[in-house]
Amino acid sequence: MAKKYDYLVVGAGLFGATFAYEAKKRGRDCLVIDKRNHIAGNIYTKEEEGINVHIYGAHIFHTSNREIWDYINQFAEFNNYINSPVAVYKDELYNLPFNMNTFSKMWNIKTPAEARAKIDEQIAQLNITDPKNLEEQALAILNKQRAEITGEPANLEEQAISLVGRDVYEKLIKGYTEKQWGRDCKDLPAFIIKRLPFRFIYDNNYFNDRFQGIPMGGYTQIIEKMLEGIDVRTSEDFYDLRKTAVKDADGTYTARLSDGAEVSYDRILFTGQIDEYFDSKFGPLEYRSVRFETETLDMENYQGNAVVNYTEREVPYTRIIEHKHFEFGKQPKTIISREYSTEWKPGIEPYYPVNNDRNNALYEKYAREAAAEGDVIFGGRLGQYKYYDMDKDLAAALDCVNEEFGE
């Protein structure tokens, strides 16, 4: 006899696990399946050499939403990690995000006296009659370079120069962005970098959010706690299961798992690719993917920072992650991951959507199809085709719960 569930949750990542956890609190039974051989989706961490390795890349939880921060903290204690990446361009190191430390290195502004000398130089070049402070010095340089672009930026390159000037663009944006998106910046839409972290104070904190940190002991524990007491099956492909599914007259689905066990369920929460769910009937949506080369090194400290970006186009990887620094580790060995951004194709994991005009218009067609699927809820980055940070993904999952249960 088939085991009965209220929901089949497809995907054991943050969105799916949150929904299942909240559904269980409301007396609903869920079966959670995932095609990977582990839970936690892209936030999966695994302990190696006493280090919690972010298997699918760096994840720093950050938010300004106190409710979301309190919610996630019920599942783990977070440390006080502050994301302060460093960028490497040729043989130069720059602090990120773009701030006065960056500009100081970029334009050789190091002390107030040196800044005054540079300001005087810029006065002569730009006819500034009354520069008042160091911020105006940086702005003066940027404004001179911004003047090269007139009118509305037509592409990412023009957008970047209009925001940060040519020096910063050429050294810290152009190559990195082209690697990340697999396209020349002149062929990328301007909206991609409208929200560059950019400030005129000496502050290397990448995020502006009030709360941020890393769960001590890794992210997997959060999903484990959410899924306590809930049936979970990993290495289970939804599309194989769907081939066996039969819908009864009362609207209940009965299907077989990969081991032959029969299950029944009334509704589906689906966090996979929305276009794939509909057999790409309107054409495939575009995604970007990421691959990693991870190695253990017999040294205590490789690069001195958790995240180091490599901004030259000629360097094939976008960044190197040294995992121990997320939790201030002192282990005798270290583990690093080189991150390569790649074009998605069937057979590899999609990481994030490419939200340009073409794809957004195509997604709307799938969204209309999804709205007509009365028994299926679509969620998460892939199901809703949105680039969610973790806090936004969590908030969207809780909104989904409230809508589903009429709260």
Which among 116, 242, 288, 338 is annotated as catalytic? 288
Which among 339, 352, 385, 388 is annotated as catalytic? 339
Number of other CB atoms surrounding residue 305 within 10 Å: 15
Q: Is there a catalytic annotation at residue 26? A: no
Q: Are 39 and 234 in contact (CB under 8 A)?
A: yes
- Whats the size of the chain, residue-wise? 407
Which among 199, 233, 291, 338 is annotated as catalytic? 199
Q: Are 279 and 145 in contact (CB under 8 A)?
A: no
b (16+ CB within 10 A) / e for 218-253: bbbbbbeebbeebebbeebebeebeeebeeeeeebb
Which among 91, 195, 228, 250 is annotated as catalytic? 195
C-alpha distances out from residue 198 to 151, 171, 174, 388, Å: 22, 15, 16, 21
Residue 204 burial class via C-beta count within 10 angstroms: exposed 0-12, middle 13-18, buried 19 and up? middle
Which among 170, 237, 389, 404 is annotated as catalytic? 389
Q: Is there a catalytic annotation at residue 66? A: no
Which among 114, 202, 387, 399 is annotated as catalytic? 387
In this structure, what token pair is assigned to residue 241?
A: 């299961």
Which among 166, 267, 319, 381 is annotated as catalytic? 319
Q: Is there a catalytic annotation at residue 256? A: no
- Backbone torsion region of residue 118, taken as left when φ is above 0, otherwise alpha when ψ lies between -120 and 50, otherwise beta: alpha
Residue with tokens 């299926």: 376
Q: Work out whether strand 86-89 and strand 307-310 pair parallel, antiparallel, or are unpaired.
A: parallel
Q: Are 184 and 178 in contact (CB under 8 A)?
A: yes
For the four alpha carbons of 38, 213, 210 and 133, in that order, the dihedral sign comes to negative
Q: Is there a catalytic annotation at residue 195? A: yes
C-alpha distances out from residue 282 to 89, 261, 269, 273, 391, Å: 42, 34, 22, 13, 31
Angle between helices 134-146 and 112-126 (to 10 degrees): 40
Give 318's DSSP letter: S
Q: Are 149 and 131 in contact (CB under 8 A)?
A: no
Q: Is there a catalytic annotation at residue 339? A: yes
For the annotated catalytic residues, the residue numbers are 195, 199, 288, 319, 339, 387, 389
